[in-house]
Amino acid sequence: MSPSSSTTPNLAVSSSSSKVSPIWSRKKDLVYLVFFLVHGVVMLGFDLTHYYPAAVKPGWMTGVRTWYVATYGDRFFYNPPSFFPLYSLLELLFHLPLTLWLMPALLRNDPRTPLALLVFSLETTVTTMTCLAEMWGWEELSSAQRGWGGLGGMYGAYVVVAVFMGVDAWARLERVVARANGGVEPVAKKEL
């Protein structure tokens, strides 16, 4: 069998031969782009500020954190459980670089985007669910702080986005695999 008659499908995508559809026509990707823009700002302006040297950390960052802790009682930012520093490091070493890669990747409709979204969504769902479970055990929180208008809503919304993103990314990847394997019928037959 010659190399040209191989039955292995070529999954390479040539960006020069295919026209990139604008982000405005890809509604889910547009939502993901907005999500990652906000996520990047929150990471750099709030979540990861404890990594900044005091000499370069603007005072407003400390002020926002003080207000946030006083308003929402989020222990993760003043008395974190033993697992949380690892989650914070994961945010620095995984979320931040992936977010910086995903924003332009979403704009150019990079074919690797669904794989990155799937990995992000799985990691984010597991770690955020852990944080929710921990937070629900904090007895000092009021029902407002724990509910949808407080930490439950913030962390809960993050889980909902991550789960939706994961299902969508899986469906996209599953269609690619089905096409590459000679028209195997994908389980996710419908666009989300």
Q: DSSP for the chain, please give it.
A: --GGG-SS------TTTSPPPPGGG-HHHHHHHHHHHHHHHHIIIIITGGGS-TTTS-HHHHHHHHHHHHHH--GGGTS--TTHHHHHHHIIIIIHHHHHHHHHHHHTT-TTHHHHHHHHHHHHHHHHHHHHHHHHT-TTS-HHHHSTTTHHHHHHHHHHHHHHHHHHHHHHHHHHHHHHTTSPPPS--S--
- Structural domain includes residue 80: yes
- Structural domain includes residue 109: yes
Tens-place pLDDT, residues 78-119: 999 999 999 999 999 999 999 999 999 999 999 999 999 999
Tens-place pLDDT, residues 111-135: 999 999 999 999 999 999 999 999 9
- Structural domain includes residue 18: no
Give residue 192's pLDDT band: very low, low, confident or very high (50, 70, 90): low
Domain count, the chain: 1
Per-residue confidence (pLDDT) for residue 65, from 0 to 100: 95
Range of the domain at 51: 27-180
